Structure 1
Amino acid sequence: MGKTMPNHSELFTAPGVISFGKGTVNYSFSSCLEFMEQKGRELFGDGFRIYGEDRPIIFKLLIWAIRDQENAQRLSLNLDKGIMLTGPIGSGKTSLMTLIRFFIPPDIRHSMKSCREVSFEFHRNGYEVIRKYSVLAYDRPTGGKKPRAYCFDDLGTEQNLKYFGNEVNVMGEILLSRYDQFVSDGMLTHLTTNLTAGEIEEFYGSRVRSRMRAMFNLISFEANTKDKRR
C-alpha cells in the first residue's frame, strides 16, 4: 500500500497521501486539525479548540485511525490493539476520542460509553449488562459476526455497585470478558482515564491490569496538562 507520510520533523506541516480502504484520501495534518476543531465546536460548543501542545497525541491517534502501518510501527503503535488515552482531568481525552471516530473505518469505529452509565445500567439490569458489553457485543452481518468496538470513557469514575447484595466491579468484569473476545475475535476496546497504572491495579486488580497491557496502546497527556474546561 503506497503512502507518503511526513518525517518526524515535518509531522505538523507536510501533506500526506494515505491509501484508505479501496480509495485514496489526500490530506494534510493541518487540514485534519481544522476539521477536528470545526467538528469539535459543533459537538462541544464554540469554546472548543485544538491546542498546539496536543498535536503529538492527535497525530498518534490519527495514525492509528487511518491504519497507517508504516508510521504506526515507527511510533510503536499496534494497530491490532485499542487505545488507552490517559491524562489529568480536563485534558481533553473524551473530546479527542469522540472526534477521532470520524477518521476510523466504519467496521471498527467505536461507540462512546461512560463508565458511570455502565455502572448505573448494571444497578438497574444486573449481570446481563456485563454480557451486553462483552460476549454479546457483536453485530451479525451475513456469514458471520463482527465485534463491536467501544470506548469506555472515564474509567475509575464508576462505583462498585451491589446487585441483590453482591458487590461487583462492573468495569473490571467487562474488561476481563472483552479480553477473551479480543483474543478470540480481535474485539477492540478503548479507554480514557486519569488513573495511574498503580491506581488501576489497586481498583481493578493485577489480573485486569495484566490483560490491559495486552489490549491497549498507551497514549498519555503530560501530567502537567492544564484543565481546558477552565
Structure 2
Amino acid sequence: MSIQNDFKKFFIQTANELLMKRENRKFEIDENNQYALDFFTSYFSDNNKLEKLGGKPHKGIFLYGNYGTGKSLFFETLEKVYELYKNPKYRVKTIHTIELVDMARREFANSHQLAPNDKSIIENYSRGSILFEDLDAESKINHFGNIKDIMSELIQLRYFNSRRAKCITHITSNLTLEEVKARYGERVSDRCYEMFNFINLGGDSRRK
C-alpha cells in the first residue's frame, strides 16, 4: 500500500480501531466532520489537494469545536500512523496545556535548582512540530505577584521562530478565533491568522 495515496483510508481504519478498543464505537463520518477529515488527511499527505481545500501547508492546524467532537482523536490517530510508518511528516509532539502550565509552575517554584545549561519549559516547547492540546483549559500563573500566561507567551514566541526556521504549531480547542482574541488578546489572535489553518469540527459530542 502506498501510504500517501491511501492515507485517508488508512487514517479512517486506524481511527476506527482506536475507538472500538476504547469506546466500543465506530468512527462516524457525516456533514459535521467530513470537511475536517478531508482537510486533515490532505494536510499530512497531499499538498495539492490541501490547497484546493483552501489550506496552507506552511501553517499549522487549529482544530476547534465543542467537547467530544473528535478533536483529540484526529491527532491520536495521526500518532498511531506515525508509530507504524515512522515518517517524520506525521510526527507531532503533543502536550496538554494543563500539563505544560503545571510543569512551568513547578519550574518557577524551583528555579534555583536549574543547572546553567538547562533549558526552560518555554524554550523546550518553542520550536519543532508541536500540538498544544485543549487551549484555554490551562490557568495563568501568579509568580510573586506577576501574572504569567504561558500559552500566550509560547504562541507569540513560536510565531517569531516560525519566520526563521521550521516551527509548526497545532492546537485543539473549544475556542473560536474571536474567543481566542477575548481570552489571549488581540496580539495573539493576530499572530494566529498567520500561524494556523482554522478548521471547525461541528456538531455535538459523539461520546456515548
Q: Could you tell me the TM-score, scaled by structure 2's length? A: 0.83
Partners in 1 of 2:10 and 2:97 — Cα distance?
32
Contact 1:91/1:221 (CA < 8 Å) preserved in 2?
A: yes
Partners in 2 of 1:25 and 1:159 — Cα distance?
39
- Where does residue 60 of structure 1 map in the other structure? 39
Q: Deviations over 1:39-75 (max 9, x none)?
A: 4445xx1424311212331121010011x12111110
- In structure 2, relative to structure 1, the CA distance for the partners of 1:64 and 1:107 (3 Å cut) is closer
Q: Match of 2:67, SS?
A: coil
* Deviation, structure 1 residue 163: 1.9
Contact 1:108/1:188 (CA < 8 Å) preserved in 2?
A: no
Contact 1:82/1:217 (CA < 8 Å) preserved in 2?
A: yes
Query: 1:226 is aligned with what amino acid?
Result: D
Aligned-pair identity in percent equals 24
- Where does residue 152 of structure 2 map in the other structure? 172
Q: Where does the alignment leave 5 or more consecutive residues of structure 2 unmatched?
A: 112-119
Q: Deviations over 1:65-110 (max 9, x none)?
A: 11x1211111011111110001011111011122123456315621
- Where does residue 122 of structure 1 map in the other structure? 104
- In structure 2, relative to structure 1, the CA distance for the partners of 1:164 and 1:100 (3 Å cut) is same
- Where does residue 204 of structure 1 map in the other structure? 184
Contact 2:11/2:77 (CA < 8 Å) preserved in 1?
A: no
Contact 1:160/1:169 (CA < 8 Å) preserved in 2?
A: yes
* Deviation, structure 1 residue 206: 0.6
Partners in 2 of 1:166 and 1:55 — Cα distance?
44
Partners in 2 of 1:63 and 1:103 — Cα distance?
14
Contact 2:44/2:90 (CA < 8 Å) preserved in 1?
A: no
Partners in 1 of 2:11 and 2:141 — Cα distance?
41
Provide the aligned C-alpha RMSD in A.
2.2
- In structure 2, relative to structure 1, the CA distance for the partners of 1:26 and 1:69 (3 Å cut) is closer
- Where does residue 49 of structure 1 map in the other structure? 26
Q: Which runs of 4+ in 1 moved over 6 A?
A: none
Partners in 1 of 2:200 and 2:23 — Cα distance?
26
Contact 1:65/1:103 (CA < 8 Å) preserved in 2?
A: no
* Deviation, structure 1 residue 171: 0.3
Q: Where does the alignment leave 5 or more consecutive residues of structure 1 unmatched?
A: 1-16, 19-23, 138-147
* Deviation, structure 1 residue 34: 1.6
* Deviation, structure 1 residue 35: 2.5
Q: Match of 2:164, SS?
A: helix
- Where does residue 66 of structure 2 map in the other structure? 88
Q: Match of 2:6, SS?
A: strand
1:128-147 paired onto structure 2 within 5 Å: 128-134=120-126, 137=127
The structure showing larger relative contact order (alpha-carbon pairs under 8 Å, at least 6 residues apart) is 2
Equivalent pairs counted in the alignment come to: 192
Of the candidates 195, 198, 207, which is equivalent to residue 218 of structure 1? 198
